[in-house]
Amino acid sequence: METQENQAITAPPKLIPSFIAGFNSVAGNIRLIILPIVLDLLLWFAPRVSIKSLVDPILNQYLTLLSSSNLTDVQQIISSNQIIWEESLTRFNLLSALRTLPIGVPSLLSGRGVMTNPIGTPVEVDLTSLGATLALWLLFALIGIGAGSLFYGEIARISMDLKENFSFRRSLKMFRNTLYLTLSSYALLLLISIPAVILIVIISLINPAFSQISIIFVFLVLIWLLMPLIFSPHGIYGSDQNVFTSAINSIRLVRYFLPGTGLFILMGMLISQGMDVLWTFPAEDSWMVIIGILGHAFITTGVIASSFIYYRGGVQWMNEKMQRMTSKTQISLDKQ
């Protein structure tokens, strides 16, 4: 009787089958990769929105102020990083704000700061007004959050076999929860980062030799604290949960099945980041970048779909396991 009861328990989610099912769902619904492709093509061919004229004077004043210091270490840091800062500012495109985190449409080119394409150099719009810059950044961020909400919602609907058709009311609810999740994530990250930065500064002042070690240690602690929240979006799009309930379920799943979830997260990162090395190999003015855009869109969407399938199996297994434990506890109490 006990053996039959144990066999009836749903098996925990398997690593490889989850990835196979996720990529199969994307291959069978290839329209899922349209948004990532559109975003990358937009960043590649659309006019660039630069803020160099706005930020350059502020950066130069800051560098001049630091250069007036008599500290040799500070001057060495300035001279070694000034070229990097200038290059980053030159390549920065405000359109990259369309790629929002933690929820957003995946993009291969958002972090590269591409300046050319096979048909030439895109037109550059240089912003000089702080108000216009903030307004455009907010507009792009809201568009990115909305697109990311639709993207994740459609992946969840297909990969988790949800018996729901697309509805504007549900999409509006998901957008609201996505906005709450984004703001909560940044607030939590800021709350954790403030004491972390203070700790790094104190250690650096005591002994500069340990500054790199302290940064690595703080980074690992941040990963350990934030990793249980990695499945927070899945409850929002897969089970229509609010942000708080979804975050609690994510923590329970990761902590309850930590070895399995840890391996799944690691493998997903290795697949997506490892393939990005291949996709970013062509020069930005080569038509071969299109292959990278298509490959990145398919691989990243497949990994996200796999995570929804893994989450569904993990939650089902966890809930059944907890129900069995509750039932056994109740039977034991009744016998007493």
pTM for this predicted structure: 0.86
**50 backbone dihedrals φ, ψ, rounded to 5°:** -105, 150
The average confidence (pLDDT) of the chain is 85
In tens digits, what is the pLDDT along the chain, a chain of 336 residues? 444 444 455 677 888 999 999 999 999 999 999 999 999 999 999 999 999 888 888 877 776 766 665 555 556 666 666 777 788 888 899 999 999 999 999 999 998 889 999 998 999 999 989 999 999 999 999 999 999 999 999 999 999 887 777 677 888 889 999 999 999 999 988 888 888 888 777 777 776 667 677 778 777 878 887 888 899 999 999 888 889 999 998 988 888 777 778 889 889 999 999 999 899 999 999 999 999 999 999 999 999 999 999 999 888 888 787 777 777 666 666 666
Whole-angstrom distance, CA of residue 209 vs CA of residue 93: 36
- pLDDT by residue (tens digit) across 285-302? 999 999 999 999 999 999
For residue 289, give every residue at least 6 positions away whose Cβ sits within 8 Å of its Cβ, in sequence order, or none: 44, 109, 282, 283
pLDDT confidence of residue 113: 85
Whole-angstrom distance, CA of residue 119 vs CA of residue 109: 17
* Total Cβ atoms within 10 A of residue 196: 17
Decide if 196 contacts 218 (C-beta within 8 A).
yes
